[in-house]
Amino acid sequence: MPAESRPTETRPTRSRAPSADGAANDDTTRISPADNAVPTAGGGLRERTDTIVLTKPVPGRAVGSVARARPGAPDNDRVNDRVNNRMKESARLPDAPADPDTIVVTRDPVADLLEPVTGPAAEPVGDTDAGRGPLPDQRPWRSWRPRSWWPWRPRSWRSRSWWPWRRAPASWDGPAGGRPGGVPVADGYPAAQPVIAGPAGHAPTGPDRSRAVATVMAAGVLLVAVSYLLGRRGHPDVGTALLWPGLITVFVAGVTRLLRTDTSRRERLRVSVLLGVGLYFCFELTQISAVREFDELLHLRTLLDLQATGGVFTSHPGLPVSPRFPGLELLTNAVVQLLGVPDQVAVTGVVLLARVLLVYGLFLLIERVSRSAYAAGAGVAIYACSPQFFFFNAQFAYQTLAIALTVLLLLVVVDRDRYGRATAGVLIVMTWIALSLTHHITSWITVGLFAGWTLCAFARRDRADGGALARVTLVGLVAAAGWALVNVSMLGDYLGPILSESFHQAGNVASGQAKSRKMFTDSAGTPTPAWQIVALLGSTLLWSVSVIPIGPFRFRPDTDSRHATLYRLLRLMHLAFPLTVIGTVAPRTAELSTRLSTFVYLGIAAVLGLTVTSYLATRRATRQAFRVRLTAAFAVFVFIGGTVLGSGADWSRMPGPYLVIADGRSIDPYVVAATNWANTALPAGSRIVGDRETGVRLMSVGRQWLVTSLGSGASGAPLYFGSTFGDYERAVMTAGRIQYVIVDTRLADGLPHETFYAENGEAPEGTRLTAAMLAKFDTQPGSVKVYDNGPVKIYDVTALWSPAAPATPATAVPAAPAAAPPATGSRSVGGAR
């Protein structure tokens, strides 16, 4: 059978015979014979304290964990090759006499610590030479301790009389389900080799169900769309009741296929991408006609500035660093200008592209590390359970694109030898430039990842790999650190307070000076439903337990020698998961830890993808289906927990009636009407003060300059918190040269759902706005109401400045729209700063 041929549906569902010419099915990602070779001669493996003595190759004793040669040996891979060659020779000649040589290999203490390589990758080999390869009942995993259940025993042992608690000998044949009777035997050893479904055992014998999966996922998305429709019609509770079944439908449709052992590699890849895209649509449908999440509006402002001014690196009132890291907006603007599509279409398309790149790259990356499409698919499913996958990393924000670039950069570096020096160099340099231009923190973390990877390679004494990785890291360091140095003051203003506040809050909690933040309720007091708390805590507990090598997490599949280095790094990221849990004690640290989880889950996805699939694929066939279902149920559980953790309360996921300071739920027709009026009636760049939601929308879509302490050095938020208008308010207005104040009278309806009304630190925590505080602008002489749609009012307050205030560069009375084109207005405001 040629290597390019496809599997047919007429094949046995769980096993296949080797082809005549030895070529494997192309849907199977295999490892080398050396990696997966299983010698068939008897033998033993002795363990000493830190050495392994291989006297003869032993079934089930792969040497993939050999990480360091005996003293004097120059290179691990050479040792591995030597060992593997011996094993290959032995495998080719099952009845060959035992190798008299003894190979002593020192175990790598780091490898033991991180446990990356205590089992084989167990890719379905489909080997090229008949008569060698894994035994029909080989368990594609290993342990350093002898297993009493090791299946390769004399046939008489495998009778029911010997093992009465086992149903039938056939069940010993592993997930492949092949019976020993069906395997040709030569000299007491199997001559033919059915492919078993190991971690990579995606024996592509099942029919391709990707279209059916897509249909089920689409039905789930439609259910989600209906739930949002109900929410918009004023029934958010009913909508929420429908939302979760829709989300779970999308997730389960993908996970059930990804966890099956007989799914082909191509289908796994398709389903992985479909899973990412389906969940993206589930989020995006909440705001499909216009973005309205807080972070998205900030980046939309950068995009609109790019289009209005034609230039880059403009001033930004709400997030000054955003125009300095404009990769996402540059890409979106390229799509807008090249294709002539509206901004919203380009925004949706670019984020969708980023999602596809992320999922696609993650699949290939895990596959490279594990040599297993099975593990890769499971890894993608695990990453879909991460807190930020459904919500934050589906938004039009720079991290969304940056995390995809990070994953692809890792993939390119893993694959660098396949591209050739020049192509790989261009790919790596271009990606580093794009990453450095896209997101500051992600680029720095990526540099850290590569530095860690380099160190791991040098720790393995793989100087060639370490040197190459060091060069890649150096390029990234130059790009990321260089660009950060250019913007160091701006980054300091932005990140400095966040970090210092995080340390301060964490220190207070640790020293007992402050209580940890209130869990399971938002700042307005809206409680999280009990079942969501159970899922959240349960998923956190499960991820925490997964760090400990017990139970199903005990199996650590093998990786090949070089990729083991990256695997160790990913394992370290996995081990960092408890940090994200500890970080939730204080508000600021919780924000940081949630952001950190985006990267930690890369390690979790890779490591647990391998581990879980090893566990599933090495069970008896009769119980495997049950374990797959059980694992899928756990997956749904952790998916709910992760989604709740990342997206917050129900109101954040469901459109519906207005809520006080609640992201998209605070953007309603009144806010839209006020924005539209301001966009046409007020000069672009007028200095305004508004609440967190209305203000940022007027800043973004309305093209006004929202006065914030970050972007203007003065905050207008305190204006809201006085019942009367006094000198303090005048001073605030004068300092911020505030021209217009936007008042939404509904702010008095309750506490904000998102921590603060207008700006962080505006008032003591728990301070609630009252109607009298908001009504003072109606009665204050000099305050002129220029717009009123009922809840939302806009006041011209220029006349309220202190008498000694300098003249404002803008007109006090709104002029005609034609008098101030947006581009000019924006530039003048930027210059005025």
Partner 1 sequence: MNAVTTVAQAVLGTAIIVLGVAGLHAVLARSAEAGSGRGSPRGHDRAADASRAGSPATSQVDPPASIAALLLLTVTGLMVGSLLVAVVGLADNPLAYDLLFGAVAVALAAAGGLRPATVAARIRTFLPRAAEPWKPASWTSGGWRTGPRRAVLLTSVPVLIIAVAVGLSWWSDDTTMNAPVTALGATRTQSGLEVTVTRADGDNGDLTLEVVNSAGRRWRLPLAAGKDRTDVAVGNAAVPAPTTIHLLAGEKIVQSITIP
Tell me whether residue 28 or residue 263 sits nearer to partner 1 (CB atom): 28
Q: What is the rounded distance in angstroms from the CA atom of residue 275 to the CA atom of residue 251?
A: 7
Which uninterrupted H or E stretch holds 777? helix 771-779
Tell me whether residue 269 or residue 472 sits nearer to partner 1 (CB atom): 269
Residues 826 and 779: beta-carbon distance below 8 Å: no
Query: Cβ of residue 46: shortest distance to partner 1, in angstroms?
Result: 27
222, 459, 576, 636: which one binds partner 1 (CB under 8 A): 222
Q: What is the rounded distance in angstroms from the CA atom of residue 523 to the CA atom of residue 14?
A: 54
Binding window for partner 1 (CB under 8 A); candidates: 104-112, 420-428, 547-555, 608-616: 420-428
Query: Cβ of residue 431: shortest distance to partner 1, in angstroms?
Result: 6
Binding window for partner 1 (CB under 8 A); candidates: 112-120, 419-427, 712-720, 768-776: 419-427
Binding window for partner 1 (CB under 8 A); candidates: 60-68, 408-416, 490-498, 625-633: 408-416
Does 560 bind partner 1 (CB under 8 A)? Our answer is yes
Residues 679 and 707: beta-carbon distance below 8 Å: no
Tell me which residues in 772-811 interact with partner 1 (CB under 8 A).
Answer: 784-790, 794, 796, 799
Amino acid at 524: A
Q: What is the DSSP string of 296-351?
A: HHHHHHHHHHHHHHS-SS---SS-TTGGGS-HHHHHHHHHHHHH---HHHHHHHHH
CA atoms within 13 A on the CB side of 690: 31
Tell me which residues in 660-699 interact with partner 1 (CB under 8 A).
Answer: 667-670, 672-674, 677, 681-682
Binding window for partner 1 (CB under 8 A); candidates: 100-108, 324-332, 643-651, 741-749: 324-332
Does 211 bind partner 1 (CB under 8 A)? Our answer is yes
Tell me which residues in 462-481 interact with partner 1 (CB under 8 A).
Answer: 462, 464-465, 468
Other beta carbons less than 10 A from residue 673's beta carbon: 15
Tell me which residues in 280-319 interact with partner 1 (CB under 8 A).
Answer: 281, 285-290, 306-312
166, 167, 232, 768: which one binds partner 1 (CB under 8 A): 232
**C-alpha dihedral sign at 132, 134, 136, 137:** positive
Tell me whether residue 32 or residue 523 sits nearer to partner 1 (CB atom): 32
Tell me whether residue 447 or residue 592 sits nearer to partner 1 (CB atom): 447
Tell me whether residue 329 or residue 759 sits nearer to partner 1 (CB atom): 329
Work out the end-to-end distance of the chain between its first and last CA atoms, rounded to an integer number of angstroms. 71
Does 412 bind partner 1 (CB under 8 A)? Our answer is yes
Residues 127 and 193: beta-carbon distance below 8 Å: yes
Q: What is the rounded distance in angstroms from the CA atom of residue 255 to the CA atom of residue 268?
A: 10
Does 418 bind partner 1 (CB under 8 A)? Our answer is yes
Instruction: Report DSSP state, residue 768.
Output: -
Beta bridge partners of 689: 741
Q: What is the rounded distance in angstroms from the CA atom of residue 263 to the CA atom of residue 248?
A: 21
Binding window for partner 1 (CB under 8 A); candidates: 112-120, 138-146, 147-155, 222-230: 222-230
Beta bridge partners of 785: 795
Query: Cβ of residue 823: shortest distance to partner 1, in angstroms?
Result: 8
Tell me whether residue 111 or residue 751 sits nearer to partner 1 (CB atom): 111
Binding window for partner 1 (CB under 8 A); candidates: 385-393, 415-423, 500-508, 800-808: 415-423
Burial 336-350 (b: 16+ CB within 10 A, else e): beeeeeebeebbbbb
Does 358 bind partner 1 (CB under 8 A)? Our answer is no
Binding window for partner 1 (CB under 8 A); candidates: 106-114, 223-231, 502-510, 741-749: 223-231
Which residues neighbour 636 within 8 Å (Cβ) at sequence distance 6 or greater?
A: 248, 251, 252, 255
Residues 361 and 431: beta-carbon distance below 8 Å: no
Tell me whether residue 170 or residue 335 sits nearer to partner 1 (CB atom): 335
Query: Cβ of residue 309: shortest distance to partner 1, in angstroms?
Result: 7
Query: Cβ of residue 224: shortest distance to partner 1, in angstroms?
Result: 7
Tell me which residues in 7-36 interact with partner 1 (CB under 8 A).
Answer: 22-35
44, 146, 420, 713: which one binds partner 1 (CB under 8 A): 420
Does 745 bind partner 1 (CB under 8 A)? Our answer is no
Contacts from 141-145 at CB under 8 Å and sequence distance 24+? Answer: 141/198, 141/199, 141/555, 141/557, 141/614, 141/618, 142/60, 142/61, 142/62, 142/65, 142/118, 142/558, 143/118, 143/119, 144/47, 144/118
Q: Angle at which helices 563-575 and 343-370 pack, to 10 degrees?
A: 110
Q: What is the DSSP string of 530-578?
A: HHHHHHHHHHHHHHHHHTS--GGGG------TTHHHHHHHHHHHHHTHH
135, 196, 203, 221: which one binds partner 1 (CB under 8 A): 221
Does 815 bind partner 1 (CB under 8 A)? Our answer is yes
Query: Cβ of residue 441: shortest distance to partner 1, in angstroms?
Result: 18
Binding window for partner 1 (CB under 8 A); candidates: 56-64, 387-395, 430-438, 632-640: 430-438
Q: Give the SS3 label for residue 700.
A: helix
Q: What is the rounded distance in angstroms from the CA atom of residue 443 to the CA atom of residue 813?
A: 45
Count residues binding partner 1 (CB under 8 A).
Answer: 126
Tell me whether residue 312 or residue 576 sits nearer to partner 1 (CB atom): 312
10, 20, 72, 338: which one binds partner 1 (CB under 8 A): 338
Does 427 bind partner 1 (CB under 8 A)? Our answer is yes
Q: Which of 731, 755, 757 is nearest to 744 (CA)?
A: 757
Query: Cβ of residue 648: shortest distance to partner 1, in angstroms?
Result: 20
171, 561, 694, 704: which one binds partner 1 (CB under 8 A): 561
Does 327 bind partner 1 (CB under 8 A)? Our answer is yes
Query: Cβ of residue 179: shortest distance to partner 1, in angstroms?
Result: 26
Query: Cβ of residue 706: shortest distance to partner 1, in angstroms?
Result: 19
Look at strands 687-689 and 784-788 and give their pairing.
unpaired
Tell me whether residue 283 or residue 756 sits nearer to partner 1 (CB atom): 283
Q: What is the DSSP string of 162-189?
A: T-TTSS-GGGGGTTTT--GGGS-EETTE
Does 248 bind partner 1 (CB under 8 A)? Our answer is no
Find how far residue 456's CA is from the centre of its chain.
23
Query: Cβ of residue 129: shortest distance to partner 1, in angstroms?
Result: 11
Tell me whether residue 86 or residue 588 sits nearer to partner 1 (CB atom): 86
- Which two tokens mark 820? 């101030």
Residues 644 and 532: beta-carbon distance below 8 Å: yes
Tell me whether residue 625 or residue 819 sits nearer to partner 1 (CB atom): 819
Tell me which residues in 58-117 interact with partner 1 (CB under 8 A).
Answer: 75, 77-78, 81, 84
Does 498 bind partner 1 (CB under 8 A)? Our answer is no
Does 333 bind partner 1 (CB under 8 A)? Our answer is yes
Query: Cβ of residue 256: shortest distance to partner 1, in angstroms?
Result: 16
Does 148 bind partner 1 (CB under 8 A)? Our answer is no
Which residues neighbour 270 within 8 Å (Cβ) at sequence distance 6 or greater?
A: 210, 213
Query: Cβ of residue 331: shortest distance to partner 1, in angstroms?
Result: 5
Does 426 bind partner 1 (CB under 8 A)? Our answer is yes
Q: Angle at which helices 373-384 and 236-259 pack, to 10 degrees?
A: 170
Query: Binding string, 635-654, against partner 1, x = CB under 8 A?
Result: --------------------
Q: What is the rounded distance in angstroms from the CA atom of residue 829 to the CA atom of residue 400?
A: 30
107, 556, 562, 653: which one binds partner 1 (CB under 8 A): 562
Binding window for partner 1 (CB under 8 A); candidates: 112-120, 363-371, 452-460, 540-548: 363-371
